[in-house]
Amino acid sequence: MRFKAVFIRVVNELLRDKRTLALMLFAPILVLTLLYFVFDTNSETNLKIGVTDNVPNKIVNELPSDKVDIEKVDSLDSVKDTMVDSELDSYITKDGSKIEVTYANEDPSKTDATKQLLASALQKNKMQGMMKIVEKIPDNMQQGNNQASENVELDNHYLYGDADSTYFDKMFPILIGFFVFLFVFLISGIGLLRERTKGTLERLLATPIKRRDIVFGYLAGYGLFAILQTLLIVFYAIIILNIELAGSIWWVLLVNILIALAALAMGIFVSTFANSEFQMIQFIPIVAIPQIFFSGIIPLENIANWVSFIGYLFPLRYAGDALTHIMIKGQGLEYIWFDICILFVFIIVFTILNIIGLKRYRKV
């Protein structure tokens, strides 16, 4: 009987708590749906490769057209400028008997895929040359060209990183931003929620204090510790874990501090819709987890545009893009200014929403 009483009590509490029930039932469906569309759409990686005119057509033609977009490059600019301007995954040119390949290496998985395709193309080219020689084709010029193609060697270069770069090197800058966002979001949201459930916020609102003063006070108080947490995470990752940093650490700190402040403002805002710490945690699958899908860890160029567009609603997409430019590519303000501006927009918008949201407790 005691078991039955406890069982009935728990069931009734869940049935009365419609928000908890809805999150338990529909949040997993939301996450699974996002996973389906993100991973199921155009799962094949499409490589963009630039080639110069002196690269043999026999090699270029062996690259599968369904996996590779070939772009003829005639620019006399530096290889780096050409690759950045044309957004190339690799750049191929020929110097004597060597095929020189420069990999962007921003995504090491694309570098490995390009290497495999080039190795296969060269192998097919050699085999075709050997078959023609065996068949004794009378065209000596063609035999000479085939023999030359057999002696072609690859000379690899890397725009970012080196041959030992792994996919984790691409992920880590984004993961730093994600963990900064996640923990600040939870701590700030639960912290303000406790203030409300204990009655502290109501007593504070009973004084003549303005709503904006309350919001700015909470943002400043939690923001101080959010910044300290950000500094600890960034310096630990770079100094202790020895994560490669190609750009300026000051830009890394700025971007992570901005994402922490955005998480702080969002956490305080979301906490107004929760009545307990348990409900606050239930917002993670809706607010925090989807951001990792659109942060840059998963290539967004291979998924449907309408799915990719969802990522623009999350601040981590902009933080991930900025951190990739800084830590992997070594780039500065001219490449990240837009991401920084959008992060400021998130902070300002959610700060205003927090001020407006306090109207539900008291009109001042």
Structural domain boundaries enclosing 233: 166-360
Residues 121 and 143 reside in one and the same domain: yes
Q: Is residue 8 part of a domain?
A: no
Q: In the listed set 123, 138, 158, which residue is the last one of a domain according to the structure?
A: 158
Place of tokens 């890397």: 158
Same domain flag for 78 and 146: yes
Q: Residue 109 falls within a domain, yes or no?
A: yes
**Predicted local distance difference test score (pLDDT) of residue 294:** 81
d(CA 269, CA 276): 14
212 with 333, same domain?
yes
Q: How far apart are the first and last CA of the chain?
A: 52
Domain annotation covers residue 41? no
| Domain boundary residue, one of 113, 132, 158 | 158
Identify the CATH number of the domain in which residue 143 sits.
3.40.1710.10
Per-residue pLDDT of the chain (364 residues; tens, 9 = 90+): 565 666 676 677 667 767 666 666 676 676 667 666 666 555 556 788 888 877 777 777 777 777 788 888 775 567 777 777 777 888 888 777 777 888 888 777 788 888 887 777 777 766 555 445 445 445 444 444 444 444 566 777 777 777 767 667 778 888 888 888 888 888 888 877 777 777 777 777 677 777 777 788 878 888 888 888 888 888 888 888 777 788 889 999 999 999 999 998 998 888 877 777 777 777 887 888 888 888 877 776 666 677 778 888 899 999 989 998 898 888 889 989 999 999 999 999 999 988 887 776 554 4
Query: Long-range pairs for 302-309 at CB < 8 Å and ≥24 separation?
Result: 302/41, 302/42, 302/43, 302/44, 302/45, 302/46, 303/37, 303/38, 303/41, 303/42, 304/37, 304/41, 304/42, 307/34, 307/37, 307/38, 307/41
Domain boundary among 158, 185, 205: 158
256 inside domain = yes
Does residue 56 share a domain with residue 193? no
State CA 352 to chain mean position distance: 27
- In a domain, residue 6? The reply is no
Q: Does residue 217 sit in the same domain as residue 141?
A: no
Q: What total of structural domains would you count in the chain?
A: 2
